[in-house]
Amino acid sequence: MRAVVLAAGKGTRMKSARPKVFHELCGRPMLWWVLRALREARIEEIIVVAAPEMREGMEAFSDTQVVIQQEQLGTGHATRVALEALPPRSRGKVLVTNADMPLVTADIFLAAIEALGNDAMSLVTVSCGPALPSFGRVVRKGARVERIVEVRDATPDELNIEEKNAGIYVADETKLRTALARLKNDNAQHEYYLTDIVELLSKADERINATPHAPMLDVLGVNDRIALAHARTWMNIRLCEQHMRDGVTIIDPVTTYLEPELEIGCDTVIYPNTSIGRLSTIGEGCTIGPNTRLSNARIGNRTEIRESVILDSRLGDDVHVGPFAHVRGESVLENEVRIGNFVELKNARLAKGAKAAHLSYIGDAEIGEEANIGAGTITCNFDGKRKHRTKIGKRALIGSNSSLVAPLEIGDDALTGAGSVVTKNVGDGERVAGNPARPLPKKSP
Ligand code: UD1
Ligand code: CA
């Protein structure tokens, strides 16, 4: 089975510089979702018909074949362009689908394939009352499908037909090729409609099977940004429901924004207004949110993240973050680390049990086990030209409002006094204070 995916349309109604099928919902382009459903249906040979300006964007879809439709002359023309680029196969079958239906599922494709049997063509239809008003109407004579009429060519009576064309077709390849060669564009839009194939085949006494599909949302065609938003809402509910089935508590799926390809462990609880994306993984028994954003984050077990942003970073087990922390730039928080209110971490590594509880910027730094970073501590990592690193030893105590001027090393069990401006390395067990910081007298035994 080969599949032709029609993706070259102008998408005029999106009013966008970006090609329509590259518009995203839940973090992936519309086209990505359709291709995923085709793969789930085990269709391996996939040909995407794209417009010339999509050439670059198609590089992200490296495992599909791309055929360029130079001019967008209609869905029938697009299908012909695709088939002309492929060697003909006698007795082959081909599935043709619109690419602007991101909610489509593998089951719908499989049902259409099954419905073809040995006939000329099968197509998926939805009966949805007045909904989906822009869809082509399925005209039957008795039970027999006779033709599809597009809205702009329909009579008022035809417009009342409730059975509509979903935009998914399976056909005998030879018969499809022959019929495509005979398509005309004598219609309201002067386009070569793929849907006219139905009438051509039916007039040639070929059998056409319509497979009615019940949930109309599954075949929602996204032509404008309103439909895109509806599709996103529904896709997000699907993603949330899948994780809930797998043991994740989602307090409010409506305000929990997920992407595909996430891993979330059981008994993790996600509070409202939280978005999780870019291949993040979360362990078991975590508390995430409310008001939290995770992107490319790897989180261990029993970790709590409240009202915070975690980007491109890794957190271990039993870590506590927030409220109002910003962790980014490949930071690593080992087990039992605590990051508190208004703390920003960038490319920082905090070893087991280290703490930075309040109001800090820690960038390009390595913090030892059980070290405690006092409120208001800043790593001054930028000298105006270059970034420098700060290293802080195990159990070190950094006093409130310390400015640590990098490059800098502070030893194990060292201490800096409140308000210190530390410009020189501090040895193990050494205590410094002042601006610039100077060693304090040794504690009398
Ligand atoms: C199409 C169907 C309509 C159906 C509806 C379902 C036709 C003529 N009409 O209408 O019966 O109810 O889908 O959603 O097919 N495309 C190309 N090249 C082109 C034109 C379009 O690749 O020259 C692609 C588009 O990118 C899109 C798909 O074909 O993915 C459908 O085109 P679109 O213009 O959205 O058709 P509709 O008017 O929605
Ligand atoms: Ca459409």
Q: Which listed ligand is nearest to 135 at the C-alpha?
A: 1
Residues 187, 260 within the same domain: no
Q: Which listed ligand is nearest to 131 at the C-alpha?
A: 1
Residues 214, 346 within the same domain: no
Residue with tokens 């009429």: 149
**Residue 150 located in a structural domain:** yes
User: What value does the mean pLDDT of the chain take?
Assistant: 96
- CATH number of domain containing 195: 3.90.550.10
**Residue 34 located in a structural domain:** yes
State residue 206's pLDDT score: 95
Stretch 178-192: mean pLDDT: 94
Residues 67, 183 within the same domain: yes
Residues 344, 425 within the same domain: yes
| CB of residue 100 inside a 6 A radius of ligand 1 | yes
**Residue 273 located in a structural domain:** yes
In Å, what is the CA distance from 117 to each residue of 112, 163, 175, 199?
9, 22, 14, 19
Residue 436 preceded by cis peptide, ω within 30: yes
Nearest residue (by CA) to ligand 1, atom 10, is 135
Total domain count, the chain = 2
142 exposed, middle or buried (CB, 10 Å; 0-12, 13-18, 19+)? exposed
Judge contact between 386 and 405, C-beta under 8 A.
no
Last residue of a domain, one of 170, 204, 219: 219
Report the percent of the chain where pLDDT is more than 70: 99
**Residue 276 located in a structural domain:** yes
Residues 163, 258 within the same domain: no
Copy the structure tokens of residue 291. 């008001």
Atom of ligand 1 nearest to the CA of 99: 30
**Residue 274 located in a structural domain:** yes
State residue 55's pLDDT score: 95
Last residue of a domain, one of 172, 198, 219: 219
Query: What Rg do the C-alpha atoms of the chain give, in angstroms?
Result: 30
Copy the structure tokens of residue 145. 């499908």
Judged against a pLDDT cut of 90, whether residue 227 lies above it is answered with yes
Catalytic machinery residues: 358
Which strand (E) or helix (H) includes residue 238? helix 225-245
**Residue 233 located in a structural domain:** no
Which strand (E) or helix (H) includes residue 39? helix 30-40
The CA distance from 194 to 153, in Å, is 14
| CB of residue 222 inside a 6 A radius of ligand 1 | no
Residues 113, 257 within the same domain: no
State residue 441's pLDDT score: 84
Residues 13, 147 within the same domain: yes
Atom of ligand 1 nearest to the CA of 50: 22
Per residue in 61-103, pLDDT (tens digit) is 988 999 999 999 999 999 999 999 999 888 899 999 999 999 9
Judged against a pLDDT cut of 70, whether residue 116 lies above it is answered with yes
| CB of residue 73 inside a 6 A radius of ligand 1 | yes
Q: Which domain holds residue 389?
A: 248-439
Atom of ligand 1 nearest to the CA of 7: 26
The CA distance from 334 to 321, in Å, is 12
pTM of this prediction? 0.94
Per residue in 20-66, pLDDT (tens digit) is 999 999 999 999 999 999 999 999 899 999 999 999 999 999 889 99
**Residue 243 located in a structural domain:** no
Copy the structure tokens of residue 205. 């006494």
State residue 322's pLDDT score: 96
Residues 304, 180 within the same domain: no
Residues 141, 215 within the same domain: yes
Residues 192, 253 within the same domain: no
Identify which of 6, 72, 98 to mutate to test ligand 1's pocket (most ligand atoms within 8 A of the CB).
Answer: 98
87 exposed, middle or buried (CB, 10 Å; 0-12, 13-18, 19+)? exposed
State residue 445's pLDDT score: 65
Last residue of a domain, one of 171, 199, 219: 219
Residues 82, 186 within the same domain: yes
**Residue 228 located in a structural domain:** no
Nearest residue (by CA) to ligand 1, atom 13, is 167
| CB of residue 198 inside a 6 A radius of ligand 1 | no
Judged against a pLDDT cut of 80, whether residue 444 lies above it is answered with no
| CB of residue 80 inside a 6 A radius of ligand 1 | no
Residues 83, 199 within the same domain: yes
| CB of residue 97 inside a 6 A radius of ligand 1 | no
Per residue in 275-325, pLDDT (tens digit) is 999 999 999 999 999 999 999 999 999 999 999 999 999 999 999 999 999
Per residue in 344-365, pLDDT (tens digit) is 999 999 999 999 999 999 999 9
Q: Which listed ligand is nearest to 67 at the C-alpha?
A: 1
Stretch 393-412: mean pLDDT: 98
* Residue 243 CA neighbour count, 13 Å, CB half: 31
- CATH number of domain containing 320: 2.160.10.10
